[in-house]
Amino acid sequence: MKYQTQKVSIGSDHAGYELKAKLETLFVAAGLQVHDHGPHTADSVDYPDHAHPVATQVAEEGILGVLICGSGNGVCMTANKHTGIRAALCWNKELAMLARQHNDANILCIPARFVSEAVALEMVDAFLTTAFEGGRHAIRVNKILC
């Protein structure tokens, strides 16, 4: 499988902890370098404490990231406060693919309480293997930043 990155930054809140741990194991097995920004237990945490470091690393290193929380909204809103971040809240494989193809999304946000593990795995695979199409989409993406 051809991934669009060799390194992945990942983080979650307590609602996404189990899925994050599963994804990290799969990433390592696939030969990807993983930087896990926590949490490292299922204890209650504040999602911005883990979303900000992922967004910072993705923006600075030009890699892809995955953020997970209960609804996906909190981590998505937090990440999108960072310059250069295009975090996309997705709930199926097709949206994850389109986020990469048309929007050059660099962080996939997953709503852990609203998608099955199987769907989450499909989304992550699609996100990491889909390239940005550029062209007319690049013109639009370049207009996003304020």
Average pLDDT over residues 97-117: 98
> Does 28 score more than 90 pLDDT?
yes
Please report the pLDDT score of residue 1 as a whole number.
62
Token couple for 91: 């709930």
pLDDT for residue 5? 84
Residue 47 lies in a domain: yes
Q: How many independent structural domains does the chain possess? A: 1
DSSP character string of the chain: ---S-SEEEEEE-GGGHHHHHHHHHHHHHTT-EEEE-S-SSSS---THHHHHHHHHHHHHHT-EEEEEESSSHHHHHHHTTSTT--EEE-SSHHHHHHHHHHH---EEEEETTTS-HHHHHHHHHHHHHPPP--THHHHHHTTT--
Instruction: Identify which has the larger pLDDT, 56 or 2.
Output: 56
pLDDT at 145 over 90: no
Residue 46 tokens, joined: 């504040």
67: domain CATH number? 3.40.1400.10
pLDDT at 3: 85
| In-domain check, residue 117 | yes
Q: Is residue 1 part of a domain?
A: no
Relative to beta strand 64-69, strand 7-12 is: parallel
**Residue at 31 is within a domain:** yes
List, by residue number, the catalytic residues.
69, 102
In a domain, 2, yes or no: no
Q: Is the pLDDT of residue 4 over 90?
A: no
Which one has a higher pLDDT value, 143 or 51? 51
Q: Which two tokens stand for residue 146?
A: 């304020």
Task: Look up the domain containing 102 and give its range.
Answer: 7-141
63-103 pLDDT, tens digit each: 999 999 999 999 999 999 999 999 999 999 999 999 999 99
